Structures are given as C-alpha cells and as structure tokens.
Structure 1
Amino acid sequence: MTERPARRGSYHHGDLAEALVTAAFELLDEEGQAGVSVREVARRAGVSAGAPFRHFADRQALLTALADRVLADFEAWQRAAVADHEGAALRAIGLGFVRYAVRHPHRFELVRSRVFAPSRQPELERRLEGIDEAYTELIVADQESGRLRPGDPALVGLAAQALVCGLAQLIIDGYLPIEKAEELAAQVLDTFGQGIANPR
C-alpha cells in the first residue's frame, strides 16, 4: 500500500489532471480538506492558477477526484491487510479500517464528507460499488468456511462498518487514547466477533 503518492516532477502533456490530484493528495495529508485550494494545488503542480479548470469545474470537483484517489489507496490497504491475516477476513478489514483512519485522519475526514453522506456522489459510485462487492465476497467466504454464522452478508457488513467507523472517529477526536488504537480496535472487533462467529 502506498503511504504517500510519489513526488511529482514536471507533468507531461496529458497528465495534468493526475499531477493536480497528486498535489492535492499531498496537501490533504499536510493541512486537511480545508487546506486544499485550487490555487495552491496549481502552484504545487507548477502550473497557472487557471490551468486546473481545464479538468475540474471547481474545487468541489477536485475534492471528488481526490476522494476517489483516497478510496483507491484505502482499498489497496484493505486488500493487503486481508492478505496478511490468517483469521476471519472481516476482522482484518476492521483492523485495517481503524489503522488507516487513525494514521490518515485527513483522508478519513474527506471520505466521511464525500461518502458517508445523505447521498453518494455519482462520480464515486463505481469505486464504492466495487469496494462493497469485495467486502461482501469476503464475508460470504468467511461464512462458508465456518468462521462466521450464516446470515445476510450485507447486514453483517453494515454492522461492522458502523462499528469501526464510530470507533475510528472516537479515537481521532481524542475521546479514546490514540496510543491504544490498535489494542482497542482488536478488543472491540473480538467482542463483536463473539456475537457473529460460528460457535463451532
């Protein structure tokens, strides 16, 4: 999983949109969503202040493209977490979620504002549907292997998502100690797992 996007040099013809999103990604990590401005992104990419508008209608369009990049990074992180874990995939996904959110709180804030909202942005639908499908497949595999009880995988996934999203936010907000994030996440997920794990 890529901790940070590669540093950009001068962009090549046709790669301006990519250079701008990469610059926005770096700025997001440094200053948060509020600090991502079209002018500063253009400056970091080495182009004029008006150049970004060839690809993004406004700041909101740039932030949506940035959210898509964060989701791609997050998905790669989650896949790596599952690949390195021998137990239930659902537990690995949960731990990966909390680790990513706590390590990258500004990215988590952006995703919350763009994804966990009353309506999803159409530009992100394909990415989100792919992530949802992958999670469902992993939950079904856990159920078929006997690691989880039978049941509606969509509901299991929603319950797990609500749990880890809330836990991550409590840690980021300082309500729970960040130095114990890993331990707390493991304990909470294990407690949750006792309710849905196959008792056999």
Structure 2
Amino acid sequence: MNTRPYHHGSLPETLVAHATELLDEAGAEAVVVREVARRAGVSPAAPFRHFPDRAALLAAVTEAVAAEFGEIQLAAVNSADSVPFRALGTAFVRYALAYPHRFALLRGAVFGADRTPALEQGHRAFTDSVIEMIVAGQRRGELRQADPELIRIAAQALVYGLSQMFVDDYLDVAQADQLINQVVDLFGLGVLAPDNGQRADT
C-alpha cells in the first residue's frame, strides 16, 4: 500500500512524539509500532529503519521523557520567586499529576536499578545539578548545613512518594494544590535554616 510522502522533519523524532501520545493516552502497553507508524503517516515497516524493535522505540521515548522531566524541573527552579529547592520538589509532583503514564515509565526506567547508559548519564547530570543547587542554598543561608546528598535523597523520597500516592489515587487529586504546598512546606521546616524566614507558624 502506498503511503503519502513524509514531510514532517525528522522521522525518529516524529515517531517518538506519536509514541509519547499513545503513552499519555493509555500507558506503555499502548505504544504499538504499527499504530505509531499509522499516526506518523508512514508504512508499518518504516519505524524499523530507525528502531529495531518496540523495546528500542520505547527506550527512545523513555529517554525523551526523562530529559523533558529534568528540563521542566530546572525551568521551575530558574523561575522560582523564593527558595529554588522548594520549586524543584513542587515541579516534580506536578509533573506526575499532569503525566501519570510518563511518571510510571520513569519509575521503572530511571528510578530503578537498571538504567540504560543514556539514562544513567542524564540522571547523574541532573543529580549533580540538584546537589549544586542544595549547596548554593546552604551558602545563601536558605538550607541547613547538612550533607547535601542526604538532603537530596530525603527530598526525592518525599516527592516521589507523594507523586505515587496521587497516581495511585490514594490521595485526592482535587486536593493536590493544597496538599503539595502543605507537605512540601512541612518538609521544609526540617531542612530550611532556622533564620531563613520561611518557617510556618506552629
């Protein structure tokens, strides 16, 4: 069967974009190469010129989602009006709320023990940037003088767990805005410097 000419730029990027659409619609199981090809307007065989199998396509989707995930968090930090570290945590949870299937994909691929080399490199770079952010916050007197890596792990455990509770419908998404702020602020009482001026009334 003849297909219409391809006029959409880079085919691999377009395939990944359509695969991500399927991921958002119904999760990783919905990412089927034939449907990705149909949405891209190419033959069923065309994707295999760039991705040898479905797993390779899904790996490319995971890498793209992981990169976007980090970029969104860092953008929130760069535009933060107050403590950047707080903006980082809030952006983490809001991403999971906006893209639960992407978060589920990252949960297995990035937050697991078997990261691909590309994901490992990206994860390491992002982790290093978070550590630098914590150290900078400590120098400015925003955060307590504690082990930066320990602060990072504790903060990630908090936002990861909170995100999963929303994704699993354990917590009411309708109360997300209030709960995110309250939980992150409560955590902040433990890591913000006592004279930072951000302490809530007790």
Fold equivalence (TM over 0.5): yes
Structure 1 counterpart of 2:127, one-letter code: D
Q: CA deviation at 1:83?
A: 2.3
Q: Does 1:104 align with 2:90?
A: no
Q: 1:84 aligns with which of 79, 86, 93?
A: 79
RMSD: 1.4
Equivalent pair of 1:105/1:172 in contact (CA under 8 Å): yes
C-alpha distance in structure 1 between counterparts of 2:89 and 2:112, whole Å: 20
C-alpha distance in structure 1 between counterparts of 2:193 and 2:53, whole Å: 50
Q: Does 1:170 align with 2:165?
A: yes
C-alpha distance in structure 1 between counterparts of 2:158 and 2:7, whole Å: 43
Q: CA deviation at 1:160?
A: 0.6
Equivalent pair of 1:27/1:35 in contact (CA under 8 Å): yes
C-alpha distance in structure 2 between counterparts of 1:183 and 1:175, whole Å: 15
Q: 1:115 aligns with which of 110, 115, 118?
A: 110
Q: Does 1:10 align with 2:4?
A: no
Cα deviations across residues 83-140 of structure 1 (Å, max 9, x unaligned)? 2222221111110001110011011011112111122122312221221122111111
Cα deviations across residues 130-177 of structure 1 (Å, max 9, x unaligned)? 211221111111111111011221221111111101101101111111
Question: Residue 4 of structure 1 corresponds to which residue in structure 2?
Answer: none
Between the two proteins, what is the percent identity of the paired residues?
49
Q: 2:88 aligns with which of 86, 90, 93?
A: 93
Structure 1 counterpart of 2:93, one-letter code: V
Structure 2 counterpart of 1:63, one-letter code: L
TM-score normalised according to structure 2 size: 0.89
C-alpha distance in structure 2 between counterparts of 1:54 and 1:156, whole Å: 45
Q: RCO greater where, 1 or 2, for CA within 8 Å and sep 6 or more? A: 1
Q: Does 1:133 align with 2:122?
A: no
Equivalent pair of 1:91/1:189 in contact (CA under 8 Å): yes
Q: CA deviation at 1:20?
A: 0.7
Ranges in structure 2 where 5+ consecutive residues have no aligned partner:
1-5, 196-202
Structure 2 counterpart of 1:153, one-letter code: P
Structure 1 counterpart of 2:187, one-letter code: F
TM-score normalised according to structure 1 size: 0.89
Q: Rg larger in 1 or in 2?
A: 2
C-alpha distance in structure 2 between counterparts of 1:179 and 1:171, whole Å: 10
